[in-house]
């Protein structure tokens, strides 16, 4: 089978065209039937390509398991892996499959996505954190340095390390050096490549985690490459760990994965294999145009080159005009009908992808230009600069998993010193947990969280009335 074919997509279309009369699930019977509104908006074929796994029948030529394996192998060949898995629960599900089989320590940057933490609740392994440092000017979390990882390896002897490649802001670590170091110590390297699926398709973008030597990666194909939301891929170069992820997938995945999701992943892979480079180069060209035009607008600052590894993530700030990123996001949405990906105190992130056009880019640039003009007329003053003085990581009393299963109670934050947290408390954005389940409240942590809430910085996990969840009992069973 060659890359210009899409076996799963083709098999699904063939089943539909075969006109089989369905006395099997799903209940919609492959037609929009009574659901007129769904048909009006999504078209009459939307259910036709949504049969359940009841249609598996190799004798009748419907061997969807076999075509899925073929489709996944084509994806593996394209992305430079030995094996790939199609995923229907996003990169979240892929990280769960990847990390659930760990039994030792896993070194993870503290700013990792919540899916990494939830994966470690499923696992019997323990998290060891690489503390997060922030760029002092942009206040964005930075990926770990080789020195930080070297210290982590010396202190822990972990089974694996999990890196985020790239961060939400498009910044990458020196992953090749980091991987070399881990390999020297016999440590597995996994990458959360949720935002890096497109890296393969242009030499202007960073090398992919697999190219840097990672054992396995999970990519949100839906985030940067255009498949349906919820669909991701896991790519592995390490055969024995891949076998473990397959075992985990059997435990964690629905027994009725959407065939439509698989088929779209397969067809997207076919298009990428044949046109990926030109599509991604085109997106990069649009991003470049966007940046060039934005850089000429007074009051707009763009993420400097030393922080930006992925030009398709347009990170900008209007702080010189006194606007926080959160205010810019709101103004773009309310006044210009533009929704960006994320905002924080200083910046907003606008994503440019294979789905953009010069028209969408122009709309963004025009909106930002207009917003800056309006703001200048109001006699704007620059935003006060903040330092990101984070408290030290708290002492760990129980692992995430043990804390998850223990009894909890709710108490006021101000009385929490010495108690063990039952939940994550995470100022958002940027989403770095200040305390995780199983960690002990210190006076520094309480002071910092009270300060966040005092300046109306949303803290996920902080309950109404400034209450927090703690374990009923701090003692080991
Ligand atoms: C860095 C990172 N990792 C993992 C995820 C989870 O990805 P998914 O939405 O595909 O489950 C996200 C989602 O935003 C993310 O930003």
Q: Per CATH, is 400-471 categorized as 3.90.78.10?
A: no
Q: Is 401 helix (H, G, I), strand (E, B) or coil?
A: helix
The response to whether residue 105 sits with its C-beta less than 6 Å from ligand 1 reads no
Q: Which residues of the chain carry a pLDDT beneath 70? A: 378-379, 387-388, 476-477
Which helix H or strand E contains 130, and what residues bound it?
strand 126-130
pLDDT at 388: 67
* Residue ranges of the chain assigned to CATH 3.90.1150.150: 277-377
pLDDT at 428: 83
pLDDT at 375: 85
pLDDT at 376: 79
The response to whether residue 426 sits with its C-beta less than 6 Å from ligand 1 reads no
Ligand 1 centroid, distance to 37 Cα (angstroms)? 31
pLDDT at 411: 97
Sheet strands side by side (includes 342-343): 301-302, 313-317, 347-351, 342-343
d(CA 112, CA 51): 36
The response to whether residue 194 sits with its C-beta less than 6 Å from ligand 1 reads yes
Q: Which residues have C-beta within 8 Å of that of residue 332, sequence separation ≥ 6? A: 338, 339, 340, 348, 364, 367, 368, 371
CATH code of the domain occupying 277-377: 3.90.1150.150
Give the tens place of pLDDT for each residue, 264-273. Answer: 999 999 999 9
pLDDT at 477: 52
CATH code of the domain occupying 7-274: 3.40.640.10
d(CA 341, CA 347): 11
pLDDT at 230: 97
pLDDT at 453: 85
The response to whether residue 220 sits with its C-beta less than 6 Å from ligand 1 reads yes
* Residue ranges of the chain assigned to CATH 3.90.100.10: 400-471
Best residue among 118, 220, 233, 429 to mutate for probing ligand 1's pocket (most ligand atoms within 8 Å of CB) is 220
* Residue ranges of the chain assigned to CATH 3.40.640.10: 7-274
pLDDT at 457: 81
pLDDT at 231: 98
d(CA 33, CA 46): 11
């Amino acid at each position: 089978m060659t890359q210009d074919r899409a076996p799963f997509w083709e098999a699904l279309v063939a089943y539909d065209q075969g006109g089989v009369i369905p006395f099997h699930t799903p209940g919609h019977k492959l037609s929009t039937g009574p659901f007129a509104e769904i048909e009006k908006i999504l078209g009459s074929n939307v259910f036709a390509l949504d049969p359940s796994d009841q249609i598996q029948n190799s004798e009748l030529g419907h061997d969807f398991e076999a075509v899925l394996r073929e489709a996944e192998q084509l994806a593996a060949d394209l992305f430079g892996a030995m094996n790939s898995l199609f995923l229907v629960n996003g990169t979240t599900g892929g990280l769960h499959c990847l990390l659930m089989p760990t039994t030792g320590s896993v070194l993870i940057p503290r700013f990792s996505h919540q899916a990494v933490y939830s994966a470690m609740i499923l696992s019997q392994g323990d998290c060891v954190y690489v503390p997060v440092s922030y760029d002092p000017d942009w206040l964005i979390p930075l990926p770990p340095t080789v020195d930080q990882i070297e210290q982590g390896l010396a202190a822990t002897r972990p089974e694996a390390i999990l890196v985020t490649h790239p961060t939400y802001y498009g910044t990458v670590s020196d992953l090749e050096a980091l991987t070399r170091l881990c390999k020297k110590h016999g440590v597995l390297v996994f990458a959360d490549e949720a935002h890096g699926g497109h890296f393969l398709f242009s030499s202007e973008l960073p090398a992919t985690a697999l190219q840097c030597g990672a054992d396995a990666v999970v990519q949100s194909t839906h985030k940067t490459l255009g498949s349906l939301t919820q669909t991701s891929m896991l790519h592995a170069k390490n055969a024995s760990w891949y076998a473990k992820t397959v075992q985990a997938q059997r435990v964690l995945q629905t027994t009725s994965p959407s065939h439509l999701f698989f088929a779209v992943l397969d067809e997207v892979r076919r298009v990428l294999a044949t046109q990926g480079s030109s599509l991604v180069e085109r997106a990069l060209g649009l991003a470049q145009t966007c940046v060039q035009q934005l850089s000429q607008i007074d009051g707009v600052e763009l993420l400097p080159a030393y922080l930006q590894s992925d030009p398709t993530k347009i990170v900008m700030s209007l702080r010189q005009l006194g606007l926080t990123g959160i205010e810019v996001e709101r103004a773009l949405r309310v006044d210009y009908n533009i929704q960006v990906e994320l905002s924080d105190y200083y910046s907003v992130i606008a994503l440019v992808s294979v789905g953009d056009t010069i028209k969408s880019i122009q709309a963004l640039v025009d909106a930002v230009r207009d917003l800056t003009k309006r703001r200048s007329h109001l006699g704007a003053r620059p935003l006060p600069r903040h330092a990101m003085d984070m408290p030290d990581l708290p002492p760990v009393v129980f692992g995430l998993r043990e804390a998850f299963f223990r009894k909890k109670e709710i108490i006021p934050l101000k009385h929490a010193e010495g108690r063990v947290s039952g939940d994550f408390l995470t100022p958002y954005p940027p989403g770095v947990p200040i305390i995780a389940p199983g960690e002990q409240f210190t006076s520094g942590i309480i002071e910092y969280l009270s300060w966040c809430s005092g300046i109306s910085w949303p803290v996920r996990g902080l309950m109404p009335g400034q209450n927090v969840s703690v374990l009923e009992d701090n003692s080991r069973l």
